């Protein structure tokens, strides 16, 4: 399940923050990074709230007095947090609240892989729909807007100004 996280994180973060200056590339990257836990056999550190909080603390401390760098890297942390919401890991208390319920991780599948095929197909379709909405809302059919997003992660202020 990839498009669910990429599409929904892009759309949701825009709808919440309405900021053309966030790096939406890093938002989308952050939303899929916890999927690397699959290599460890299930939801592990990247699926914990503590991981996102420590990442946020790290960004805040490492970017003191560097506002533009902070704005860029905070986008990655926002993506990590959006992943926690979208995959429903908060329903597995031993993972989400780790280490407060013990230091071990339960032997369960990644939440995003524990759905049936039908649910996965629906979620992926919703992710595609969110990406189509973003494509249209941010005029990404225009080469200059697409290149701006690709190069900087930002959205064209003139285009999003119309939707504010």
* pLDDT tens over the chain, length 164 residues: 899 999 999 999 999 999 999 999 999 999 999 999 999 999 999 999 999 999 999 999 999 999 999 999 999 999 999 999 999 999 999 999 999 999 999 999 998 888 889 999 999 999 999 999 999 999 999 999 999 999 999 999 999 876 55
Q: Tell me the whole-structure pTM to 2 decimals.
A: 0.93
**Distance of alpha carbon 123 from alpha carbon 85, whole angstroms:** 14
Taken in order 106, 36, 69, 26, is the CA torsion positive or negative?
Answer: negative
**Tally of domains in the chain:** 1
**Full residue range of the structural domain in which residue 44 is found:** 3-161
How many C-beta atoms surround the C-beta of residue 135 within 10 A? 15
């Amino acid at each position: 399940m990839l498009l669910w996280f990429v599409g929904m994180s892009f759309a949701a973060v825009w709808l919440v923050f309405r900021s053309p200056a966030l790096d939406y590339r890093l938002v989308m990257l952050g939303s899929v990074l916890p999927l690397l836990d699959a290599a460890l056999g299930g939801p592990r550190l990247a699926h914990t709230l503590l991981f996102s909080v420590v990442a946020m603390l790290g960004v805040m401390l490492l970017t003191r007095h560097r506002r533009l760098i902070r704005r860029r890297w905070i986008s990655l942390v926002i993506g990590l947090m959006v992943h926690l919401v979208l995959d429903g890991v908060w329903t597995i208390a031993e993972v989400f609240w780790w280490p407060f319920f013990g230091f071990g991780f339960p032997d369960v599948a990644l939440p995003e892989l524990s759905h049936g095929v039908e649910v996965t197909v629906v979620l992926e379709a919703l992710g595609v729909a969110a990406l189509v909405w973003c494509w249209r809302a941010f005029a990404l059919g225009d080469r200059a807007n697409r290149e701006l997003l690709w190069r900087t992660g930002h959205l064209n202020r003139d285009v999003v100004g119309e939707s504010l």
